Amino acid sequence: MVPPEADANRKRVVLVNRYFAPDHSATSQMLSDLAFHLVSIGWDVCVVACNDTYDGEALPAEEVIAGVRVRRVRSGGFGRGNLVSRVIDYLVLYVALARGVLRLLRSGDVLVVMTDPPLLSIPLCLVARWRKAVLVNWLQDLYPEVASALGVPFVAGPLGRALAFLRDRSLQAARVNVAIGELMRARLPGSNSVCIHKWADDETIQPVVPRENDLRAEWGLGERFVVGYSGNLGRAHEYETVLQAAVLLRDRPEIVFLFVGGGHYVEELQVRAHALGLSDRFVFQAYQPRDRLGVSLNAPDVHWLSLRPELEGLIVPSKFYGIAAAGRPLIAVGALDGETARLISCSRCGASVGSGDSAGFARIVLELAQDPAVGGRMGARARALIDQRFARRRAFAGWADLLDRLSASDARL
């Protein structure tokens, strides 16, 4: 790897996250996009990540990818099978990432820390202080509150309060904390926070009329009205509202539910759908490669996404941006005053239903199936929202402006 001193005269940023390209997990894609853009506009960019992908593929310890110098450290390797092994993995990874950053970081560098593994800002704020670097926390979620809301043992008690205290101290020690949603930003302590929304590859992902999409034939969807879900279906989400809506729509064989992705609840959803006699109404497909995402997102006539109401402001569903870039209408399941529900309401690009409102969900699906022009107008407004407010170039410009100011000797917000 080229030594840090070789680029001493360039603006320099060190980015830290568990995963980086070629991994295709959500945080990896965001970090990789930003890193490659910063290199293209003249920044010296280093990344510290772990030496495997989310799927366990081994990666080299050091390499240069599209001008980004990547240093990878060993993860714990204990797996995600249970809480104890996951905690051990986190502890090992905290130490390894801190050591990796310590070897690269120098005075005046900008250090951008993401939130995978959770609470990474706590050890790395100490490294930034030691090296006299400028610390930026890029918050994708808020722990330990997420863990507490999901019922993780012990986190709701004294340990959770202690972790929240340390997390808040690390946020207050940062020059800037970047939240990905306004509700998340409102939860952060202090006044050193800004909001830069997530993005999708809106240049590659373009609207395509669903019935002109060859993937529909490949997946056996034909001319049916397709209600789609794309991405991870994990503990932060719920599927019961949609499953019961499918029961209510049992007598409408022209409506099919497409699931593309994976996650904690996928197998359970498959089992439940089969038990309810709905196997022919649900189609399951694996995660699609990033270069096929635009085609995949355009396959459904309408998408749904969900977030458990107690997690509003702690997590922001990134699915919204890709779906909207594809020009597809959305149905949000969760809090009616949540981040996604507000975006849908103000742009009129879909509809929202509360968790458990299966009848409401079924009614919206029927309305869209009976009048495709309504969904078409919603989808057009969704794409317009991306073009006007959430285009990737706008997010990149926001990051470049922020980092330019922070890298100046008299950096001020």
Task: Please say whether the beta carbons of 244 and 280 come within 8 A.
Answer: no
- The answer as to CATH 3.30.1490.20 being correct for domain 210-389 is no
For helices 121-131 and 158-173, angle between their N-to-C axes, nearest 10 degrees: 30
Nearest to 73 by CA among 56, 92, 45: 92
Nearest to 96 by CA among 73, 117, 126: 73
- What does the pLDDT average to over 201-209? 92
Whether the predicted pLDDT of 410 surpasses 50: no
On the question of pLDDT at 396 being above 70, the answer is: yes
List the chain domain ranges. 4-199+392-407, 210-389
Note the pLDDT of residue 156: 76
What pLDDT was estimated at residue 251?
Answer: 95
Mean pLDDT of 85-89: 77
pLDDT at 70 over 80: yes
Tens-place pLDDT, residues 247-283: 999 999 999 999 999 989 999 999 999 999 999 999 9
Residue 411 in this model has a pLDDT that exceeds 60: no
pLDDT at 6 over 60: no
Residue recorded with tokens 């439940």: 272
DSSP E strand stretches across 157-271: 176-179, 193-195, 225-232, 255-262
Q: How many CB atoms lie within 10 A of CB 89?
A: 19
Q: What is the pLDDT of residues 329-371, one digit of tens each?
A: 999 999 999 999 999 999 999 999 999 999 999 999 999 999 9
**Which superfamily does CATH assign the domain made up of 4-199+392-407 to?**
Glycogen Phosphorylase B; (3.40.50.2000)
Mean pLDDT (whole number) for 364-389 = 97
For residue 33, what is the DSSP state? H
Encode pLDDT of 219-228 as tens digits: 999 999 999 9
Would you say the CATH fold of 210-389 matches that of 4-199+392-407?
A: yes
Beta strands in 87-141 (DSSP E): 110-113, 134-139
Where residue 38 falls among pLDDT bands split at 50, 70, 90?
A: very high
Count of other CB atoms within 10 angstroms of residue 343: 23
